[in-house]
Amino acid sequence: MCEVIAIYHDLRLKVGRNYHEVESGKIFMADQELKKYFTYAQLKVMKEVIEDHRGSRKEHPRNFYGEVLSDSDRNFDIDVLVKRQLATSLKNNVSLKSFGGTF
């Protein structure tokens, strides 16, 4: 189960971060091939994990697998975190050209 979850969890990230986890869950549930190998209950748990993995999610993951993926999917490298935050700030505020000479 964990390998399948890992494969699907960021599938829609290429489209954008907004709601990628929900869209990835939809793609996962639409995959008919998975129904040959997993029960409906297992698929439901896996879909919840895919939807719950996002680090910025306010709610606690719905199951243990969700906690594991959410924690392991976080990147604690400060350089990566700063670059990601700067890129997001610039993307979301197009009038922002610099950070007041700070950078």
Sequence-distant (6+) residues with CB within 8 A of 6 are 69
**pLDDT of 41:** 95
How much is the pLDDT for 7?
80
Q: Which residues of 56-73 are buried (b: 16+ CB within 10 A; e: fewer)?
A: eeeeebeeebbeebbeee
Higher pLDDT, 4 or 76: 4
Write out pLDDT tens, residues 7-54.
877 776 776 666 677 788 888 999 999 999 999 999 999 998 888 766
More confident site: 37 or 5: 37
